[in-house]
Amino acid sequence: MKNSTKILLIVCLAIGIIFLSLCQPDHIPGIQYDVRVINGFTNNSSLPLVIWCSSNGDELGGRALQEGDDFSWSLRTTIWGNTHFLCTMKWDERRRQFDAFKVPRDITRCSLFRKCSWLVREDGFYFSDDEVNWKKDFSWL
């Protein structure tokens, strides 16, 4: 290979890398996941479960969920593998932040259907990839 061809190839590769670095992650196609957080309390009709979620500075906003209500959204992972949705939950005097979606943890556990569901109860936070089988992931404290 001639030196001029090698230089041209290196320049094209560098331009491609710079272009990908400057692209907004939302414009890069990735794998789509559906995330759902459900108020699973059994008797809190007068006191809603408040949820506020964001991802890398982008706010999804807050919701006040009554018993049985849910908050759901779809997301696409980035090619960088840094997709992360952090939610803050508040109920009465209790407050807890948790990772509603985080690539290293959830790309394997959210099943073939790419579904990540959370059920928030009085005793903690439960995870499911099918909304049939729930496993307690952590407590409020």
pLDDT tens sequence for the chain (141 residues): 677 787 777 776 667 666 655 554 444 458 899 999 999 998 766 789 999 999 987 889 899 999 999 999 999 888 888 899 999 999 989 999 999 999 999 988 998 889 999 999 999 999 999 999 999 999 998
Q: Give CA separation, 74 vs 35, 49, 77, 84, 97, in Å.
A: 6, 21, 10, 12, 20
Q: Are 85 and 100 in contact (CB under 8 A)?
A: yes
- Helix, strand, or coil (residue 6): helix
Edge-to-edge strand list for the sheet holding 84-91: 58-65, 49-55, 84-91, 94-102
Q: Is residue 7 part of a domain?
A: no
Lookup result for tokens 């949820």:
51
Residue with tokens 């991802």: 55
Confidence at residue 14, expressed as pLDDT on a 0 to 100 scale: 67
Residue 89 lies in a domain: yes
The span from the first CA to the last CA of the chain, in angstroms, equals 63
Report the pLDDT value the prediction gives residue 57, as an integer from 0 to 100: 76
Assessment of whether the complete model's pTM goes beyond 0.85: no
Classify residue 131: in a domain, yes or no.
yes
Q: Is residue 94 part of a domain?
A: yes
Structure tokens at 45: 């009709």
CB atoms within 10 A of CB 66: 13
Let me know if residue 52 belongs to a domain.
Answer: yes
Find the domain containing 47 and state its range. Answer: 31-139
Q: How many domains does the chain have?
A: 1
Specify the CATH number for the domain of residue 39.
2.60.40.10
Phi and psi dihedrals of 6, rounded to 5?
-65, -45
User: How many Å apart are CA 89 and CA 64, to the nearest integer?
Assistant: 10
Residue 57 within any structural domain of the chain: yes
> Measured between alpha carbons, how far is 118 from 129 in angstroms, rounded to an integer?
9
CA distance 116 to 136: 14
